[in-house]
């Protein structure tokens, strides 16, 4: 990743989670690192979906999301302005691919 893109206050290590036994990062955390909105980041992924197979990214299920909400400060799914869908997470390979599609 290009260091010019990353904010100096953000520690990547703090954003890495273990889900399904895999190290991943949340779409919202990656969007913050790239300085774009989560919606914009996910739009780029959808436009390039063939570059993101299941071992690069996956969507959390309800149980995983509820567990994360109880562990970290994420917006409530039912509140206005909060997430309206379950988050996507990206593996190391997915993060690398995301860097190439974010330009």
pLDDT digits (tens, 9 = 90+) for 41-95: 999 999 999 999 999 999 999 999 988 888 776 554 444 456 678 999 999 999 9
pLDDT digits (tens, 9 = 90+) for 64-79: 998 888 877 655 444 4
Residue 7 reports pLDDT greater than 70: no
pTM of the model: 0.79
Residue 18 reports pLDDT greater than 80: yes
| Pairing, β 22-26 against β 17-19 | antiparallel
Domains, the chain: 12-102 (3.10.260)
DSSP 86: P
Q: How far apart, in whole angstroms, are the C-alpha atoms of residue 30 and residue 91? A: 11
In the numeric block, the tokens 């988050």 are attached to 87
pLDDT value at residue 71: 78
Q: How far apart, in whole angstroms, are the C-alpha atoms of residue 30 and residue 39? A: 11
């Amino acid at each position: 990743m290009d260091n010019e893109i990353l904010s100096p206050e953000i520690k990547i290590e703090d954003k890495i989670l273990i889900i399904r036994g895999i190290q991943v990062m949340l779409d919202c955390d990656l969007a913050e690192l790239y300085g774009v909105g989560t919606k914009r980041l996910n739009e780029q992924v959808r436009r390039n979906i063939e570059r993101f197979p299941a071992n690069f990214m996956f969507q959390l299920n309800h149980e995983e999301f509820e567990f994360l909400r109880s562990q970290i400060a994420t917006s409530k799914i039912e509140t206005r302005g909060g997430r309206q869908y379950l988050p996507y997470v990206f593996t190391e390979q997915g993060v690398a691919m995301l860097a190439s599609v974010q330009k």
